[in-house]
């Protein structure tokens, strides 16, 4: 499967392209700067130069699936969060529909689908941008999955997660970026995840089992 990874130069994206390649897919790393291309080519990963703030429709040529893992981060100015996490994501969804790429996985954020009253003030604009992009995806005709991981860490992945449409207790929980990437690879062909919004945290069950148990 030809998989366009939007945000490939990010911490999840870097891990994801490697794991997709290992799984037998053909990842296409979408990068914004020419100097970012070589690091992917050294690993045999195809790249496309494109910018979310401009026309990036050319990135979708021969693409079967899209993973949107670009993000401005919670500390980014509000204006740029809207440009990337909301407007850029919405454009990416629209381009997928127009191009015929039927599968779309959105890397969102835990709490983005929760009551806005639970959002802390410094992160409110970030969750709001994510929530609006997620809703646009849910309203699309794509085979989508909205993936909402908790606090991201750079520890080595464990392969054990909790993946549910709603996780009731998550105050202090997190998830490694390695495991987020592994879950995305597992979800790519998992039809039971189509049309679902899934929360993701570290857990005690293997990724394969959690995906198999989706209803």
Alpha-carbon 72 to chain mean position: 13
- Give the chain's count of helices (H) and strands (E): 7, 11
Q: What is the pLDDT of residue 171?
A: 62
The sheet carrying 196-202 orders its strands as 46-49, 26-31, 2-6, 65-68, 103-107, 143-149, 196-202, 160-164, 205-206
Do 176 and 200 contact (CB within 8 A), yes or no? no
| C-beta atoms surrounding 34 within 10 Å | 9
Domains, the chain: 2-212 (3.40.50.720)
Q: What is the pLDDT of residue 74?
A: 54
Low-confidence ranges of the chain (pLDDT < 50): none
For residue 202, give Cα distances in angstroms to 49, 64, 173, 199: 34, 29, 7, 10
Q: What is the pLDDT of residue 115?
A: 73
> What predicted TM-score, i.e. pTM, was given to this entire model?
0.94
Do 56 and 96 contact (CB within 8 A), yes or no? no
| 73, HSE (Cβ side, Cα atoms, 13 Å) | 7
Residues in Cβ contact with 182 at an 8 Å cutoff, skipping those fewer than 6 apart: 19, 157, 159, 207
DSSP state of 165: S
DSSP codes of every residue in 43-79: TT-EEEE--TTS--GGGGTT--EEEE-----TTS-HH
DSSP state of 192: G
Write out pLDDT tens, residues 93-108.
Answer: 999 999 999 999 999 9
Catalytic residues: 126
């Amino acid at each position: 499967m030809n998989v366009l990874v939007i945000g490939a130069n990010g911490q999840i994206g870097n891990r994801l392209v490697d794991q997709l390649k290992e799984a037998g897919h053909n990842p296409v790393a979408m990068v914004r700067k020419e100097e970012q291309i070589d690091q992917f080519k050294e690993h045999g990963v195809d790249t496309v130069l494109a910018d979310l703030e401009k026309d990036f429709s050319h990135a979708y040529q021969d693409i079967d699936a899209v993973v949107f893992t670009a993000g401005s981060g919670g500390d980014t100015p509000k204006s740029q969060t809207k440009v990337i996490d909301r407007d850029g994501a919405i454009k990416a969804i629209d381009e997928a529909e127009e191009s015929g790429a039927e599968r779309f996985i959105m890397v969102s954020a835990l709490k983005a689908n929760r009551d806005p009253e639970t959002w802390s003030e410094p992160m409110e604009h970030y969750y709001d941008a994510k929530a609006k992009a997620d809703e646009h995806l849910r309203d699309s005709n794509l085979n989508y999955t909205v993936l909402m991981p908790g606090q991201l860490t750079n520890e080595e992945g464990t392969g054990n997660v909790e993946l549910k449409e709603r996780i009731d207790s998550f105050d202090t929980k997190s998830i490694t970026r390695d495991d987020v990437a592994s879950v995305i690879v597992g979800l790519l062909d998992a039809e039971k995840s189509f049309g679902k919004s899934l929360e993701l945290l570290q857990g005690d069950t293997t990724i394969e089992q959690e995906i198999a148990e989706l209803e």
